Amino acid sequence: MDYITTFRYDSGKALVNYDTDFTGKYNSKSDSTPDFEAGIKRLRELQSMLYARGRHGVLIILQAMDAAGKDGVIKHVMAGVNPQGCQVKSFKAPSEEELAHDFMWRCFKALPERGNIGIFNRSYYEEVLIVKVHPDILKKQNLPYFEHHQKAGNDFWTDRYNDINNFEKYFTNNGFRIIKFFLNVSKEEQKKRFLSRIDKSSKNWKFTMSDVSERQHWDKYSAAYEQMLMHTNSEHAPWYVIPADKKWFMRNAVCQILVEHLESLNLSYPKVSQAHLDTIAKARVMLEEEKPSY
């Protein structure tokens, strides 16, 4: 399966028409395990070359409804990579300092360096998702042209989409690959996962009443996600809509897409000069001739 082609967002397709339970050629988790393990191994190799070369950088963005499995993707897909070259940033409600800056400032600070993989668990896209569903949040941003009694219209959101698109184009122009995943979980599956968090004491810590209250806005969030995908999908920073009802398939799909993207960068380890090879040869002789200290 060509995962990039299969799960690339199609702007002509309504979000409701995406299959959240799709598992491709696999009938079970065990069927997918060999491919997933091979993908993890290859991802580890590619990340090692990415880090050693230090020329490209990668930003992975994970967006989803609550309980879709963002944390699990990070834990399982990135489990084998070198933590020295991979940083994860989760974005919760903004602080007072963050609110005093522009809406993307806190994300700018967390961008990865060349050679590194940065993972955003939620991101600046929250500014066209939760803020769109709850526009009163804009009052806290103290925008000079946005009075508390006004409502954000289409022009306001169009400007935000354009700001995001312009940033992503700028970032890719500077040698960074942006790979964006929408983990597409169904409302029915989310309910099952919420109930599991309630029923299992080991998962109680994951559950809050805000999970249920936000669920009441499911249709508004779905509309916001559809608009987000439609207005911010691009050749340089594409969206991938990943079926998320089966966590094992979702993780495998994300892994394979990451592998395909990294392979397209034609990564390799840095070439060593002859002078450096001569130094290495000299070092070998010195080490081999070294007398034991005992």
Tokens at 115, concatenated: 């050679």
Structural tokens at position 106:
């806190």
80 found inside a domain: yes
Sign of CA dihedral 281, 283, 289, 294: negative
**How does pLDDT run across 221-250, given as a tens digit for each residue?**
999 999 999 999 999 999 999 999 999 999
The Cα–Cα gap between 172 and 265 comes to 13
Residue range of the domain that includes 275: 3-289
| 164 pLDDT above the threshold of 70 | yes
List the CATH number of the domain containing 40: 3.40.50.300
Cross-strand bridge partners of residue 184: 243
Residue 1 has pLDDT above 90, yes or no: no
Number of domains into which the chain is organized: 1
Q: Which residue has the higher pLDDT, 280 or 152?
A: 280
* 75: helix, strand or coil: helix
* Nearby residues of 99 by Cβ (< 8 Å), 6 or more positions away: 140, 141, 142
Residue 8 lies in a domain: yes
Compute CA 83 distance to the chain's CA centroid, rounded to the nearest angstrom: 16
Question: In the predicted model, is pLDDT for residue 211 greater than 90?
Answer: no
Distance CA 60, CA 62 (A): 7
Task: Confirm whether 183 is domain-assigned.
Answer: yes
Question: Who wins on pLDDT, 242 or 142?
Answer: 242
Largest separation between any pair of C-alpha atoms in the chain: 82
294: in domain: no
C-alpha 168/C-alpha 120 separation (Å) is: 14
pLDDT computed for residue 149 by the predictor: 47
Residue 149 domain-assigned (yes or no): yes
pTM over 0.85: yes
Instruction: Give residue 148's pLDDT.
Output: 53
E strand or H helix at 88: strand 86-90
Q: Quick one: pLDDT band at residue 39, thresholds 50, 70, 90?
A: very high
What are the angstrom distances between the C-alpha of 85 and each of 81, 170, 186?
Answer: 8, 22, 33
Task: Say if CB 233 and CB 239 are below 8 A apart.
Answer: yes
